Amino acid sequence: MSLQRFVLKRGLITVPLLLGISLLTFGMVHAIPGDPIDFITLFTELDPQTEMEIRAEYGLDQPVYIQYIDWVTSAATGDFGRSIITRDPVTSEIMERLPYTLVMGIMAFGVTLVTAIPTGVIAAYYRDTKIDQASRVFALLGIAVPNFLLGLLLLLVFASWLDLFPILPPTSKGILSYDMLVYTLLPAITIGTGSTALLMRLMRSSMVEELDKDYVRTARAKGLPERTVVQKHVLRNSLISVVTVAAIQVAFIISGSVVVEIVFSYPGIGRLLVNRVGNRDFPVIQAIVLLIGVAVILANFVADVLYAYLDPRIRY
């Protein structure tokens, strides 16, 4: 199968998935017992005239399937209606905060790659030595430590005791300012620790598997320097398995950001989601949940295509 056909075939699978998650996020509001209008009016008594107007504004006078089609078509063009709490357009509320979360996520991903790959390689190369044991202990700790505890401890040490960072993010300067980027390191490291623990062990086991293969013995037998064997042969092949978990990493970073943004009062979409769940601001909640679902599905798609590109065997 050519790569194009694989991409097409894999892409077709995502279509029903995307439809499914849109149905789920839409259905959320209708799963609540009672009339959805109560969440817009916050249970205040209304005269019939105003109630009709509100129903018309939110499309609640239509049958459910029409409401769904309306919601999906306007969502596809980036229109999620207005927030119930702030009355601002949902899209602009999200777009305001999305860059923060994206920058933090990319940084966290960077932290993970930069730390996990070298340590995983070293742990595999010195397998069953003290170094390997240390990496195993780190992985166990990194998975078990709650990310909010880690974040709070980082704040305590670096912001309160050492005074290297402010306690609250310098949000007013914008995401691309130097101060904000430096501050973003803290949440990025917090999220990165957990995903490093996962990726490092994966890197180690795939590297161990590759090191045992015949071509490694051949490469060594023909007198290649050890550095070349590891870097040019083994590392390249074992990196393929890193790609397969890239999608899991994306999901891990998204869920991490939801919690960690609360710790650092970080102005991203995770904190927006949590705040609005408290207020039951459903247009915003639905938009963010849908956005996250789409992001994870796309990440899976990209990871599969990358994998098929790197390892042609799996196309069949």
Partner 1 sequence: MSSETSQRTTERGRIRVSGFDVDRVESREPLSSWEPDLQSEAGRGRLEYAWMRFKRNRLALFGATTIAFMVLLAVFSRPIQLPSSFPVLAGQTVQPFSLAPADPAAQDVITGYREPTLENLLAWPSAGLYLFGADWAGRDILSRVMYGGRWSLSIGFIAVAMALLVGVPLGSVAGYYGGKVDELIMRLVDLLYAFPFIVLAIAVIAVLGRGYWEMILALVVVGWLPYARIIRGEILSVKENEYVTAAKALGSRDRSIITRHILPNAMAPVIVQATLSIGTTVLVAAALGFIGLGLSPASAEWGVMLNVEQDAIARGRWWAGLFPGLAIFVFVMAINLVGDGVRDAFDPQGDQTDTDTGGLR
Tell me if 72 contacts partner 1 by CB under 8 A.
no
CB within 8 Å of 307: residues ≥ 6 apart: 240, 243, 244, 314
Query: With 0-12 CB in 10 A as exposed, 13-18 as middle and 19+ as buried, what is 185?
Result: middle
SS3 23: helix
Scanning residues 195 to 254, which ones bind partner 1 (CB under 8 A)?
A: 197-198, 201, 204-205, 248, 251-252, 254
- What CA–CA distances, in Å, run from 19 to 22, 28, 173, 226? 5, 14, 39, 51
Least distance (Å) from partner 1 to the CB of residue 198? Answer: 6
Cβ-based nearer residue to partner 1, 17 or 54: 17
Binding partner 1 by CB under 8 A: which of 36, 89, 99, 293?
293
Scanning residues 31 to 60, which ones bind partner 1 (CB under 8 A)?
A: 31-32
Stretch that binds partner 1, among 92-100, 101-109, 192-200, 307-315 (CB under 8 A): 192-200
CB within 8 Å of 113: residues ≥ 6 apart: 199
Query: With 0-12 CB in 10 A as exposed, 13-18 as middle and 19+ as buried, what is 316?
Result: exposed
Q: Which two tokens stand for residue 108?
A: 């966290």
Tell me if 114 contacts partner 1 by CB under 8 A.
no
Cβ-based nearer residue to partner 1, 3 or 153: 153
Tell me if 28 contacts partner 1 by CB under 8 A.
yes
Instruction: Give the count of alpha carbons within 13 A of 204, CB side only.
Output: 24
Tell me if 126 contacts partner 1 by CB under 8 A.
no
Query: With 0-12 CB in 10 A as exposed, 13-18 as middle and 19+ as buried, what is 196?
Result: buried
Stretch that binds partner 1, among 41-49, 76-84, 107-115, 256-264 (CB under 8 A): 256-264
Instruction: Return the axis-axis angle of helices 246-263 and 282-310, rounded to nearest 10°.
Output: 150
Find tokens 């966290």 and name the residue.
108
Tell me if 85 contacts partner 1 by CB under 8 A.
no
Least distance (Å) from partner 1 to the CB of residue 63? Answer: 21
Tell me if 273 contacts partner 1 by CB under 8 A.
yes
Stretch that binds partner 1, among 96-104, 107-115, 153-161, 169-177 (CB under 8 A): 153-161
CA triplet 312, 315, 316: central angle to 5 degrees? 115
Q: Please tell me the distance from the alpha carbon of residue 193 to that of residue 202, in angstroms, as a whole number.
A: 14
Least distance (Å) from partner 1 to the CB of residue 222? Answer: 29
Binding site for partner 1 (CB under 8 A): 16-17, 20-21, 24-25, 28-29, 31-32, 128, 132, 136, 139-141, 143-149, 152-153, 155-156, 159-161, 167, 194, 197-198, 201, 204-205, 248, 251-252, 254-255, 258-259, 262-263, 273-274, 277-278, 280, 282, 285, 289, 292-293, 296-297
